[in-house]
Amino acid sequence: MAATAAEGAFLTFDDVKKSYDQKSLVVKGYSMAVERGEFITLLGPSGSGKTTVLMMLAGFESVTSGDIRIEGRSITRIAPYRRNIGMVFQNYALFPHMTVAENLAYPLKVRGMDKAEVGRRVREYLDLVELGSFGNRHPGQLSGGQRQRVALARAMIFDPSLILMDEPLGALDKKLREQMQYEITRIHEQTGFTVIYVTHDQAEALSMSSRIAVFNDGVVQQCAPPAELYERPANAFVAEFIGENNFVEGTVERIEGGRAVVATPGGDRIAAVAAEGLAAGAPCRVSVRPEKIFLPPTDHAHDNAVAARFVTRAYVGDFIRYYFRLPGGSDIVVKVLNDLSAPEFASGQEGRLLWLASDCIAFPGAAQPAG
């Protein structure tokens, strides 16, 4: 379900397609409207088409059909260096023989900017990325996070129309990656640049984006703000790809007022939000997040109480992951905060898993067999 390109948007993709062999499409009709100042993340598994879309926008890949426009002006036949787009890569792409200040000054000098203005902007952007005292160092003398900040400053310093980021944090360790997520978000909020960001990291996308476009097999499955994407995925692929999820197989008994009642193999009934395309009598999969499930004893309101047998638990630090098995044979995971409320279970203990109907969605179709 691609978002429809809107008139007057800052950036529009209009039914953009890409084929490398003129037979099969790797991007199958991508349409989207981006407002000025948005932070849009293209998210999906490897080979889903997200990076190809970014490369077509940058001009490094040609568009097979369709159109890309910035402020109403088509850029599909404009050379990359004339598109006024800043780019940040995973490998930084800094000139190793130049100092940090010289790296930042380079895109300004090639545009013919006078020396005084170049110096002013270099100082301004070094301060923006909190590297004001690092101008005389070379990239090899910086940490990975510092080099990425220099790369970000260089992409912004010439006032581009928009900034593209292709897996920019992929080479960093977890702690540094999280720190840089905060830095990029801070700088985006401070400068107001329009950003198109590619990643395969769901947590990264959720924490940074205005909206996220989820790709699979060349098609955008859903494009929405992070909370909507997580809480109300459009289909089973998005539900499974974004964050951790459980799926309970069943058959739709009835649908009333947007709510489905699903019969499970174990004999329980589950009330769930009915997804588009659901039909009475058809197989379905009920999606419920691990943190939405409650373990008894609890006084929390619930609509569903599903029988399950405790298998084991995993201590993760800030939370505990409990593993249960349903009578039908499928496994289900529950996440509970690591506090005094975390219950204890004996191996094989029978119990009930509780959750609200509004916290689960019934999607049409049965699970695909493995392999």
Q: Answer yes or no: is pLDDT of 344 > 50.
A: yes
Give pLDDT, residue 339: 82
Indicate the pLDDT class of residue 2, thresholds 50, 70 and 90: very low
Average pLDDT over residues 199-220: 94
Assess whether pLDDT exceeds 90 at residue 304: yes
Query: Residue 369 gets which letter from DSSP?
Result: P
Residue 339's contacts (CB-CB under 8 Å, 6 or more residues apart) are none
Residue 370 has pLDDT above 70, yes or no: no
In this structure, are strands 27-34 and 39-43 parallel, antiparallel, or unpaired?
unpaired
- pLDDT (0 to 100) of residue 6: 58
List, for residues 221-245, the tens digit of each pLDDT value.
999 999 999 999 999 999 999 989 9
Q: How far apart are CA 88 and CA 360, in angstroms?
A: 38
Residue 294, classed as helix, strand or coil, is: strand
pLDDT above 70 as % of the chain: 97
Instruction: Spell out the domain ranges in the chain.
Output: 11-236, 245-364
pLDDT at 364: 95
Determine the topology of domain 11-236 in CATH: Rossmann fold (3.40.50)
User: In this structure, what token pair is assigned to residue 221?
Assistant: 């499955």
307: its two tokens: 């029988």
pLDDT digits (tens, 9 = 90+) for 292-303: 999 987 778 899
Alpha carbon distances (Å) from 194 to 86, 98, 131, 168, 179: 10, 28, 23, 16, 21
Confidence of residue 3 (pLDDT cuts 50, 70, 90): very low
| Token pair 């203990």: residue | 349
- What fold does the segment set 245-364 form as a domain? OB fold (Dihydrolipoamide Acetyltransferase, E2P) (2.40.50)
Of the ranges 1-15, 31-45, 117-131, 314-328, which one carries the lowest mean pLDDT score? 1-15
Least confident range of 171-180, 204-213, 218-227: 171-180
Q: How do residues 146-161 score in pLDDT, each as one tens digit?
A: 998 999 999 999 999 9
- Does 200 have pLDDT greater than 60? yes
Q: Is 194 helix (H, G, I), strand (E, B) or coil?
A: coil
pLDDT higher than threshold 60 for residue 355: yes
Predicted pLDDT of residue 366? 76
Across 70-78, average pLDDT: 95
Q: What is the pLDDT of residues 248-302, one digit of tens each?
A: 999 999 999 999 999 999 899 999 999 999 999 999 999 999 999 999 877 788 9
End-to-end CA distance of the chain: 27
Degrees to nearest 5, angle at CA 338 with 336 and 344: 70
Note the pLDDT of residue 294: 93
| pLDDT over 60 at 144, yes or no | yes
The pLDDT value given to residue 163: 95
Residue scoring higher pLDDT (324 or 23): 324
What band does 7 get if pLDDT is binned at 50, 70 and 90? low
pLDDT score for 5: 46
Asked if the model's pLDDT at residue 205 lies above 90, the reply is yes
